[in-house]
Structure 1
């Protein structure tokens, strides 16, 4: 089955490249905060995607300018990263990346880090566009829909693929579940857990090297539950082609310290 398409001027692709994730214990150091190397990897990933979206060629990281960690991201925090191309040369460009931590219950946001990543174009695709990167274009002035702040981007590396060479379904489900958790947490400002899924359909494969985008949307709110729709999209970084590859509905329930349901409004 063919998934629906998304045009390059869709608001999801306007302005900075956005990534939202959760700090799990495996991402933390012995202090219980996000390990600096993991934070740098997130920032570099956003820089790579932003650069590739700008020029549709292959890039490698040449250097990163001074990066200071101003505040920690704690286990359980949502981390949101944004990357914007700020300079374009003939064969290289620079991406400014910001990382912010957000308490899922309090909504408190802390600016954690900012850095400039210098990316160099490599491979035959640069020659195919004349050997010079496209110029920097003005940033859009229209406000970004707050719902898009929960959009998550990820790159499909070989270890996440099945023996068919496409994204393994279990990893796709995990990404969609994480997106539902972030959306429900921001909507309710409660501790939420997944109670179930109504239905998940996969309509197209996502190939190695493509970007996975999960886009959540709140469908309904009950006494203690939140129903979240999550769309799964794929993006080919060498083109402007993006296609919907799946959709699912997830039921998230607010719980107390003993994991018993609690009302959303108190």
Structure 2
């Protein structure tokens, strides 16, 4: 992932696959204590929309999805990853395949909960009659191979402040979530936020923007993990990626009594 603060992205330059990561909290579950199926489907549709929009840089709507069978549950405390990749591109439609995986961060186990295909249709306002989506050949951009946690999402109106920009608290929550996932995956211990260094927001993030968080471990101590998190933003229909914020988070491994424990084996 480049460290430049601005990067131009042309239509078809899709960093595929793209992954949305969330944590299952009690408010997301049904009466069985597992992730509510409707919430899972909503997140699958969201990542399909992000992948399609990044490829075509035009508005998309969901036309259909294949049968979705839930093979394994996602329980409270699990990390759920929704990974979308383009399979086929037509003139004005795309088929996006989405995997939903539940991960027990302490045990390190990962279970495929479901896989589905979503057909997304482009709504190219202002384009001429001969316009068509870019071919899939130009979408094979490799992901970062440096072990970073990369997660994307989209900013909705309920995350905005009175000026129509993403609320700083929501941005901090997203950055902390990325730090938590990176630290807990590395240590396989329960981790909590101990501190974060000063974070300056260099650019506003408007409603409808795609955000990408990149979390890298930059240091470890006896019970602590230092994670650097970058917050990038993309105009939904534009070509520019902007480094909006960067912060350093100190995550500490704790036991059931919330006392610090060694994060890594000696």
Q: Provide TM-score, normalisation by structure 1.
A: 0.92
Give unmatched runs, 5+ long, in structure 2.
none
Distance 2:128 2:107 in 1: 49
Q: CA deviation at 1:147?
A: 2.5
Q: Deviations over 1:153-182 (max 9, x none)?
A: 111111111111110101001101111100
Give unmatched runs, 5+ long, in structure 1.
none
When residues 31 and 211 of structure 1 are mapped into structure 2, their CA distance, relative to the original with a 3 A threshold, is same
Q: Deviations over 1:7-28 (max 9, x none)?
A: 549xx95321111221111111
When residues 257 and 39 of structure 1 are mapped into structure 2, their CA distance, relative to the original with a 3 A threshold, is same
Contact 1:21 1:152 survives alignment (8 Å): no
- Does residue 133 of the first structure (1) align with residue 133 of the second (2)? yes
Secondary structure at 1:39 match in 2 = helix
Q: Which residue of 2 aligns with 1:101?
A: 102
Q: CA deviation at 1:30?
A: 1.4
Contact 2:147 2:216 survives alignment (8 Å): yes
Q: Which residue of 2 aligns with 1:207?
A: 206
Q: Which residue of 2 aligns with 1:246?
A: 245
- Does residue 21 of the first structure (1) align with residue 22 of the second (2)? yes
When residues 186 and 146 of structure 1 are mapped into structure 2, their CA distance, relative to the original with a 3 A threshold, is farther
Contact 2:254 2:261 survives alignment (8 Å): yes
When residues 251 and 128 of structure 1 are mapped into structure 2, their CA distance, relative to the original with a 3 A threshold, is farther
Q: Which residue of 1 aligns with 2:91?
A: 90
- Does residue 257 of the first structure (1) align with residue 256 of the second (2)? yes
When residues 50 and 142 of structure 1 are mapped into structure 2, their CA distance, relative to the original with a 3 A threshold, is closer
Distance 2:138 2:191 in 1: 40
When residues 7 and 187 of structure 1 are mapped into structure 2, their CA distance, relative to the original with a 3 A threshold, is farther
Q: Out of 205-214 and 17-26, give the one that drifted further.
A: 17-26
Q: Which residue of 1 aligns with 2:158?
A: 159
Q: CA deviation at 1:218?
A: 0.6
Would you identify which runs of 4 or more consecutive aligned residues in structure 1 move more than 6 Å?
A: none
Q: Which residue of 2 aligns with 1:32?
A: 33
Distance 1:47 1:118 in 2: 9
Q: Which residue of 2 aligns with 1:76?
A: 77
Q: CA deviation at 1:130?
A: 3.7
Q: CA deviation at 1:146?
A: 6.0
RMSD: 2.0
Q: Which residue of 2 aligns with 1:54?
A: 55
Q: Deviations over 1:102-158 (max 9, x none)?
A: 111111010111001011111415x2584322222266486752634x212111111
Secondary structure at 2:256 match in 1 = coil
Secondary structure at 2:179 match in 1 = helix
- Equivalenced residues, count: 260
Q: Which residue of 2 aligns with 1:180?
A: 179
Contact 2:156 2:207 survives alignment (8 Å): yes
Distance 1:32 1:146 in 2: 35
